[in-house]
Amino acid sequence: MTNKEAFMALPKIVLRGRKVILLSGYKDENASTGVTRRGVIVDAKDKLLIAAKRNPDAVAFGFVAGEWVASA
């Protein structure tokens, strides 16, 4: 397995009771351990919650220029 295969593709988190996909704005908690089920560290969690309130139907979010944007 190469290093690229070891990283998480797109993590899913539960946000306001729904599963959403993070396209960017996160860091893999333990990327080098090889554990298949790892946690993520989300950038600007408070802004993500605000974006989720503004876009309750969104299923994916990306972190662009310091702001969370609903993508799908």
Per-residue pLDDT of the chain (72 residues; tens, 9 = 90+): 444 444 557 899 999 999 999 999 998 876 666 666 668 899 999 999 999 999 999 999 999 999 999 998
CB neighbours of 7 closer than 8 A, spacing ≥ 6?
28, 31
Q: Cα dist. 7→15, 29, 34, 39, 56 in Å?
A: 22, 11, 9, 12, 29
Q: Indicate the domain borders of the chain.
A: 3-70
pLDDT value for 1: 40
Q: Tokens for 14, please give them.
A: 């539960």
- pTM, 2 dp: 0.76
Task: Assign 3-state DSSP to the chain and report helix, strand, coil percentages, each to 5.
Answer: 20, 35, 45
